[in-house]
Amino acid sequence: MQQYILFDDSAWGKLLPLTFTRPVSEIRIGILTIREKWEKYLETEFSFLTQDYLSEKYPLKTGSSNTFINGSVLPNVALSQAIKSLQPGECLKHESVLIAYNSVQSQKEVPSDLSAFKNVIEFSESFLKIDHPWQIFSNNRVALTADFELLTKGRKTAPLSNTNRVSGAENIFLEEGAKVEFSIINATTGPVYIGKDAEIMEGSIVRGPFALCEGSALKMGAKIYGPTTIGP
């Protein structure tokens, strides 16, 4: 059975203290966590190859065929296709970064020597990788915009109340149960995503890109400048 695993590389140590309690792939950037992004792109669930003390909460599950993906790398279409095509014994890299590899073995350590692979494939297209805490914020606009397109493609937004004053309505998406009343929303500067059961209270002023994730709230009179993400 094919298994997909997100592994931590040296970015885990550079992202402390955020990663003291989680693998790198559990960091949220944009709307989704890195793991959630990969699950959307590859349409499968993931397990983790992380620090020993985190493995009880974030276990490793292996099978007869295993695809290991760098948990600090954000997915895109080209990257996902390249990873899907990996055969056993092959790895995908970009310069010195090991992006992914396919193995029939149940490995508990990431190979440090690429000569162990029978075929090393160089990925030449662009992608995002998070190595330092400030990159979560500096790349949030790009990640949020990509997540917005991923989550809303082919879907219809819940209705937005006419009590609001809105610019760029085509870039605003409300999930089921979201509430927005008597607020100003400018989505001409970036998309605005309001998650399930989230609420923007009266008198708030929002400038995109902005994500208010599931169950979260903006209190009355809040002023938000993009790019901003408020987690669930």
Taking only the tens place, the pLDDT of each residue in 46-85 is 999 999 999 999 999 998 899 999 999 999 999 999 999 9
Specify whether the CB–CB gap between 132 and 150 falls below 8 A: no
Q: Is this model's pTM higher than 0.75 or not?
A: yes
Q: Which amino acid is at 193?
A: Y
* C-alpha–C-alpha distance, residues 99 and 117, integer Å: 13
For 190-217, the three-class secondary structure string (H helix, E strand, C coil) is CCEEECCCCEECCCCEEECCEEECCCCE
Q: What is the pLDDT of residue 2?
A: 87
Domain ranges (residues) in the chain: 2-134, 155-230
Supply the mean pLDDT for the chain.
Answer: 95
Half-sphere exposure of 201 (CA within 13 A, CB side): 8
Query: Hey, what CATH class is 2-134 in?
Result: alpha beta
Mean pLDDT of 23-49: 97
- In the three-class reduction of DSSP (H, G, I as helix; E, B as strand; rest coil), residue 20 is classed as helix
Sign of the four-CA dihedral 157, 196, 213, 206: positive
Residues of the chain with pLDDT > 70: what percent? 100
104-132: pLDDT as tens digits: 776 777 877 787 888 999 999 999 999 99
Question: Residue 4 pLDDT > 90, yes or no?
Answer: yes
- In the three-class reduction of DSSP (H, G, I as helix; E, B as strand; rest coil), residue 85 is classed as coil
| Residue 206 or residue 109, greater confidence | 206
